[in-house]
Structure 1
Amino acid sequence: MRAAAGIFRWRHNPLRRATDLAEAWVALVAALLLVTAAPVVGWITGTLTDESLRQSVRIQRQQRHATTATVLGPATVAGPAALDPESAAASEQRRVVAAEWTAPDGTRRTGSLTTGLRSSRTGATFTVWTDGFGRMVPRPMEPGTVRVHATLAGIGAALAFGLLVECARRIVLWRLVRRRFADLDRAWAAVGPDWGRAGAGS
């Protein structure tokens, strides 16, 4: 509103300079872009990110398989993590255990796994995710995590667009100020030598 009022105020002002009107127009365009274009950029970015992540989740669910691992006993060599880093259990104290699990092809596999089980007694079970060859992989991303990432991407894109608009506005304003000072220097160079002299028309 202030930008629009500035244009209306400068249109018929006898003291108006070309740079004043240009500055008001730049402010109005920047305000409109921030109000209209920034949310659109954020929404489009969030939507595209959501679609891309959901496609990745579908691929992950096709390529990764949940299976149950059985603790065989304690292990001294750290193995691949059997937990999702995004889960609450990932923050708990982890234990390295020797475990056995079944690969998608039905073969039995054994190895050292990291788990968040409170008790690593023999026979305890926990869920792990494997690829088609029975190797440990992280669990597929959850839908809630997809939504969070997409939302953050949209907000980040909107903020980045707003920052870009503001930077462009400040650059244009800086150039207008330089032009204004250059015009003032030329005007002063034209009348300065005769300033205050009698009969000089001042």
Structure 2
Amino acid sequence: MKKPLWRWRSNPLRRRVDVVEAWVVLAVWALVVVGGTVAGLVAAGAADEVLAHQREEREPVRAVLLVDVPTSTSGIGTESERTPATVAWTASDGSRRTGRTLVDTGTKAGSPVVVWQDRQGRLATRPPSAGAAAVEAGVLGAAAGCALAGAVFGAGAVVRWRLEQQRLGLWDREWTTVGPRWGHKTG
């Protein structure tokens, strides 16, 4: 049966390198668990805040399509295939604006389309819904947590490798001292 906390127990064969390695392992796992969780929560919160700001800042506006958009000829697309086209709309300050946005293929010039604009009246992408934003924030938070955990785990592996090299060097020096004593033949 394995004894708990064996790395810290007193043992005549335990070396300073072994104790350092034990503390490195403990620190790595603590940083992986706590640091990864904190990084994930912070990243998810920041992403959710940015996406909420986008939902507040952007508004839908009715626009008019200025050119005909041909039907898809690729044969690969679905009925909801979209392509860039020029549209015109009136910004919230009353100025007339034009820009390019994605519209359904097969739409005729003069057709009404809904576009999204920011507070300056520039075209913007549709902001994600609250549910989609929560999922996106969760994925980004999980990715940030995993990235930090991976970096810490990798750094810990490098430190443990260096400690192993040091341990092997110590064993080599000790064997150089003790080995010749065992070299005689019995007979």
Q: Same fold per TM (> 0.5)?
A: yes
In structure 2, relative to structure 1, the CA distance for the partners of 1:27 and 1:72 (3 Å cut) is: closer
1:94 to 56, 63, 82: 82
1:161 to 148, 155, 158: 148
Matches within 5 A, 1:4-153: 5=4, 7-8=5-6, 11-58=9-56, 60-61=57-58, 65-71=59-65, 74=68, 92-94=80-82, 101-106=89-94, 114-116=102-104, 120-121=107-108, 124-130=111-117, 136-153=123-140
- Percent identity of paired positions between Structure 1 and Structure 2: 36
CA RMSD in angstroms, aligned pairs only: 3.6
Equivalent residues of 1:74, 1:98 under 8 A apart: no
Give the superposition deviation at 1:188: 1.9
Give the superposition deviation at 1:173: 1.0
Equivalent residues of 1:75, 1:97 under 8 A apart: yes
User: How many angstroms apart in 1 are the aligned matches of 2:128 and 2:160?
Assistant: 46
Is 1:180 aligned to 2:178, yes or no? Answer: no
> 2:138 is matched by which residue type in structure 1?
T
Larger helix fraction of residues: 1
Residues paired across the two proteins, number: 177
Deviation by residue 1:146-178 (Cα, 9 ceiling, x = unmatched): 323321221111101111221122112111111
In the superposition, the TM-score normalised over structure 1's length comes to 0.66
Aligned to 2:75: none
Deviation by residue 1:64-122 (Cα, 9 ceiling, x = unmatched): x432234576268xxxxxxxxxxxxx9822367776544434466678765116x5356
SS for the counterpart of 1:8 is coil
Equivalent residues of 2:17, 2:163 under 8 A apart: yes
In the superposition, the TM-score normalised over structure 2's length comes to 0.70
Equivalent residues of 2:69, 2:85 under 8 A apart: yes
The structure, 1 or 2, with the larger RCO (C-alpha pairs under 8 Å, 6+ apart) is 2
SS for the counterpart of 1:12 is coil
Equivalent residues of 1:53, 1:146 under 8 A apart: yes
